Each structure stands twice: as C-alpha cells, then as structure tokens.
C-alpha cells in the first residue's frame, strides 16, 4: 500500500512538471513578453497588415488615369472594298471621377487600417487574458499539489497512530479517502494547466505543445481611474469608432463619384481609316466631349443608395460610441470590485486561514485535533487560497480589459508584426 501511494505521488509530480507549473526558468516569461510574441507571430495580425498593403495598392490604382479604350471596326464597303476604322480614346476625367475614386480608396484604406488596430487590441487583450489564465491554472495546481502532499503525510501519520491504538481505524479510512480526492484534484488541475498552455501558445502564434517556463507572479497595484478621463480617451482612441467614420466617408465619396460620372469630360482621340479599294488612308487626332446626360435612373439610384448608407453610418457611429462608453464603465466596475476583493484577502484572511491550517496540523500530529477539524481547516485554507488566486487574476484581466476599452494599446505595435 505504501509503495502504491509513493508510485502514484511520483507519477502525479511528473505530470505536474510536464504540464508546466513546476518548471523553472532563468528568466520568467512576463505578460509583456507574451504580448510581444503575439504581435510578432499571430497570423491574424499578419493577415491584417497584408490587408493594409492591399488597401494601399488600391489607392495607387485609384489615382491612376482611366485606361484608354481602343475600338477596331472592320467593315464591308458598298463598292466592294473593305473599310477599317481604328479609334483610340483617353478619358481625362476632369469631371472629378478620378478624385472621387481616389477618395473612396483612401477611405477604404482608413477602414482597413482602423480594423487592423481593432484586431491588434483584441489580440493583445486575449493574449494577456490567456497569460493570466495560465497563471491561475498553475497557482491553483500548486495549491492542489500541496494539499495532496499534506493528505499523504497525514494518511501516514493516521496509519501509525491507528497501529499503536491512539486513533481509531475509521480515521485512517477518512484520510485514505482524502488522498484519493486530492489526487483527483491534481489530475483536474493538470488538465486545466494543459488547456491554458494551449490557449496562450495559440495566441502567441506557437505550436500548442510548445513548453512555457516560469511566469511572472501577479502583482496587485490598485489605481484610481477617473471615469470622465477614461471616456474621453476611449472616444478619441477606439478604432471601432474610426472604422464606422471611415465607412461613412466611403459612402459619401461613392455618392460624389456617381455624381461626377454624370458630368461632361474631355476625351482626346486618335482616329485612322483605311479604304482599300482606293488605296488611300486617312488619320488624325481629335478632342471629343462626353455628354452623359442620359440616365435611365441607375445613376440617380446609386447616388441615393450611397447617401442613405452614409446616413445609416451616422447611427452606427452613435451606437458604437454608446458601446464604447458601456465597455469602459463596465471594465471600471469590474476592476474596482476585483481590487477590493484582493485587498480584503490581503488584510488578514490569508494569514488567518494559514494559521488555522498550521495549528490544525500540529494538533493532529499531537493527537489533540480530530480528523474532521483537520480536514475542515485544510478545505478552508484551499478555498481561501483559490479565491485569492481568482481575485488576483480577475483584477489583472479587468485591468487589461480597461486598457483595451480605453484604446490605450498603441497602434504603432503593428509595425512589429513579422512580414
């Protein structure tokens, strides 16, 4: 029985080390390190930066003059010969279509750039959340491992006391049950660590099973954030608002482009004609004027469509601003609550739970404390430790959420994305 218990304990310790929370590293991986790796390697950000490159190419294409048109019209002449006509035309787009087309492309570029910033800030937040979840899982696994070792120790003590008759045999049955329960908790904690490890590796653009060494311990530093200041910063910095504003500009410029398409334009021409039966060729340059006055309703409908879409964007901008305000105030509320809980535990509850556990252990070893009192003290200690870990992680996640909600993550981090 003792050999079996020893074997199970060793196996669980090996599993714990394999899953990462018993690893040692000369330099802990900080949350900023994790963010730097995510920014550099996350494929979603790589896709976002390539979208920006595509949008810039679209602007260059829009700035270019419209391609010339070439018309080649062979025909059968009435006198038995063949007439061939070649017509080359180059629209100058002095009616404003090229300017409006360029403005549409520029607005679409701004939409893409703002969308990339949204993606960046979401990935930074998700990476920090995944980092803190791994911290949570490892810390809770350490608590379960400590309780397993304590359960095994007291199971041995109870067995010896039962053998000499100083403690009833039923107590050894109870401690044996606690060992099994503790082993199950360690197993579950190992699974949580493995899942959290996969989550962080995925955010950092690494293989799911990439080993991650020690992490930096969580630090608690409550900070007072003024709501008005946070809201002003968020409304001025959130890229989601910039996306909607740029989309509004896209629709406005599309309406302008449709109007310009209905204005006259100059079209330089080169015309060449050949009459084979006469053996003569005529050619020359000319200047045409396009007069697109005839409209069957398509252009007018396109203008109305773009104007109505731009008007709809006004409502979307307002809705996005309201959403930003909601996210900021909610993040502040969650952060304030989490900080208050952390401070409450730090003001004596942790020490009291530890003192209760230690006193119960000494009393049990000396035969002065019942097994029921010992187990209750152990469970209280574990509950307090787990709740404290959760409060610390919740505060860290709420702080990261407030950072994202206020748009505090700098957009220039996109420059660090690997090409």
Rounded CA gap, 158 and 178, in Å?
12
Residues 6+ apart with CB under 8 A from 285: 268, 269, 270, 271
Higher pLDDT, 131 or 153: 131
For the whole model, what pTM was predicted? 0.82
- Percent share of the chain, pLDDT over 70: 89
In the chain, how many domains are there?
1
Please tell me the predicted confidence (pLDDT) of residue 291. Answer: 75
Higher pLDDT, 201 or 366: 201
For residue 140, the domain's CATH number is 1.20.1600.10
E strand map for 250-384: 265-275, 280-290
Q: How confident is the model at residue 320 (pLDDT cuts 50, 70, 90)?
A: very high
What DSSP state is assigned to residue 215? Answer: B
Contact (CB, 8 A) for 367 and 121? no
Rounded CA gap, 18 and 389, in Å?
22
DSSP string, 162-202: HHHTSS-HHHHHHHHHHHHHHHHHHHHHHHHHHHHHHHHHH
372 Cα distance to chain centroid: 47
* pLDDT, tens digit, 9 for 90 and up, residues 51-101: 999 999 999 999 988 888 887 776 655 454 456 677 888 888 888 888 999
Strands 69-76 and 82-89: antiparallel
Rounded CA gap, 198 and 212, in Å?
10
Q: Count the helices and strands in the chain (H runs, E runs).
A: 10, 4
For the residues 132-153, what does the mean pLDDT come to? 91
Please tell me the predicted confidence (pLDDT) of residue 5. Answer: 45
For the residues 264-285, what does the mean pLDDT come to? 69
Lowest mean pLDDT across 158-172, 268-282, 316-330, 401-415: 268-282
What is the domain range of residue 296? 2-416
Please tell me the predicted confidence (pLDDT) of residue 296. Answer: 78
Among residues 377, 404, 245, the alpha carbon closest in space to that of 316 is found at 245
Among residues 106, 111, 128, the alpha carbon closest in space to that of 51 is found at 111
Please tell me the predicted confidence (pLDDT) of residue 176. Answer: 87
Rounded CA gap, 339 and 374, in Å?
31
Lowest mean pLDDT across 9-23, 125-139, 154-168, 258-272: 9-23
Please tell me the predicted confidence (pLDDT) of residue 8. Answer: 44
Please tell me the predicted confidence (pLDDT) of residue 21. Answer: 41
The continuous run of DSSP H or E covering 87 comes out as strand 82-89
Rounded CA gap, 378 and 188, in Å?
18
State yes or no: pLDDT of 275 exceeds 70.
no
For the residues 235-242, what does the mean pLDDT come to? 94
Rounded CA gap, 362 and 354, in Å?
12
Rounded CA gap, 122 and 116, in Å?
10
Please tell me the predicted confidence (pLDDT) of residue 281. Answer: 66
Rg for the chain, CA atoms, rounded: 36
Please tell me the predicted confidence (pLDDT) of residue 17. Answer: 45
Please tell me the predicted confidence (pLDDT) of residue 402. Answer: 93
Lowest mean pLDDT across 268-272, 332-336, 351-355: 268-272
For the residues 351-361, what does the mean pLDDT come to? 84
Lowest mean pLDDT across 137-151, 152-166, 196-210, 274-288: 274-288
Rounded CA gap, 129 and 396, in Å?
8
Please tell me the predicted confidence (pLDDT) of residue 280. Answer: 47
State yes or no: pLDDT of 301 exceeds 70.
yes
Residues 6+ apart with CB under 8 A from 347: none
Among residues 53, 41, 31, 107, the alpha carbon closest in space to that of 409 is found at 31
Rounded CA gap, 195 and 37, in Å?
19
Strand, helix or coil at 237? helix
* pLDDT, tens digit, 9 for 90 and up, residues 224-235: 778 889 999 999
For the residues 329-357, what does the mean pLDDT come to? 87
Higher pLDDT, 282 or 386: 386
For the residues 142-164, what does the mean pLDDT come to? 85
Rounded CA gap, 71 and 84, in Å?
11
Strand, helix or coil at 281? strand
The continuous run of DSSP H or E covering 73 comes out as strand 69-76
- Cα angle value 25/22/221 (rounded, 5°): 70
Rounded CA gap, 31 and 36, in Å?
9
Residues 6+ apart with CB under 8 A from 402: 225, 230, 328, 331, 332, 335
Rounded CA gap, 411 and 239, in Å?
9
Rounded CA gap, 403 and 416, in Å?
20
Count CB atoms within 10 A of the CB of residue 217: 9
* pLDDT, tens digit, 9 for 90 and up, residues 11-28: 444 444 444 444 444 689
Q: How confident is the model at residue 200 (pLDDT cuts 50, 70, 90)?
A: very high
State yes or no: pLDDT of 7 exceeds 60.
no
Residues 6+ apart with CB under 8 A from 298: none
């Amino acid at each position: 029985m003792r050999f079996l218990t020893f074997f199970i304990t060793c196996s669980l310790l090996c599993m714990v080390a394999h899953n990462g929370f018993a690893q040692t590293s000369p330099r802990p991986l900080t949350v900023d390190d994790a963010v730097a790796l995510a920014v550099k390697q996350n494929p979603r950000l790589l896709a976002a930066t390539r979208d920006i490159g595509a949008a810039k190419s679209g602007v260059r294409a829009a700035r270019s003059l419209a391609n010339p048109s070439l018309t080649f019209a062979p025909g059968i002449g009435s006198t038995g010969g063949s007439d061939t006509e070649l017509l080359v035309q180059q629209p100058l787009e002095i009616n404003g279509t090229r300017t409006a087309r360029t403005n549409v492309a520029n607005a679409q570029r701004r939409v893409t750039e703002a969308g990339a910033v949204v993606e960046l800030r979401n990935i930074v937040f998700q990476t920090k959340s995944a980092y803190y979840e791994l911290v949570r899982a490892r810390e809770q696994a350490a608590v379960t491992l400590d309780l397993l070792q304590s359960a095994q120790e007291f199971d041995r003590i109870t067995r010896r006391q039962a053998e000499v008759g100083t403690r009833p045999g039923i107590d050894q049955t109870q401690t044996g049950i606690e060992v099994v329960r503790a082993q199950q908790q360690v197993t579950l904690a190992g699974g949580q660590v493995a899942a959290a490890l996969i989550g962080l590796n995925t955010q950092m653009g690494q293989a799911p099973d990439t080993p991650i060494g020690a992490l930096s311990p969580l630090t608690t530093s409550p900070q007072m954030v003024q709501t008005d200041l946070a809201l002003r910063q968020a409304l001025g910095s959130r890229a989601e608002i910039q996306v909607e504003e740029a989309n509004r500009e896209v629709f406005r410029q599309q309406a302008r482009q449709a109007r310009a398409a209905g204005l006259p334009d100059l079209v330089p021409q080169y015309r060449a004609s050949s009459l084979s039966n006469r053996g003569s060729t005529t050619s020359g340059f000319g200047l045409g004027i396009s007069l697109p006055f005839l409209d069957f309703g398509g252009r007018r409908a396109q203008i109305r469509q773009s104007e109505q879409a731009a008007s709809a964007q006004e409502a979307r901008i307002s809705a996005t601003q309201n959403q930003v305000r909601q996210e900021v105030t909610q993040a502040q509320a969650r952060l304030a609550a989490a900080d208050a809980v952390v401070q409450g535990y730090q003001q004596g509850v942790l020490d009291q739970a530890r003192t209760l556990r230690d006193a119960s252990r000494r009393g049990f070893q000396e035969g002065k404390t019942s097994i029921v009192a010992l187990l209750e003290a152990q469970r209280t200690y574990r509950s307090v430790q787990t709740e404290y870990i959760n409060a610390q992680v919740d505060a860290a996640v709420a702080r990261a959420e407030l950072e994202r909600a206020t748009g505090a993550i700098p957009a220039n981090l996109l420059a660090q994305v690997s090409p």
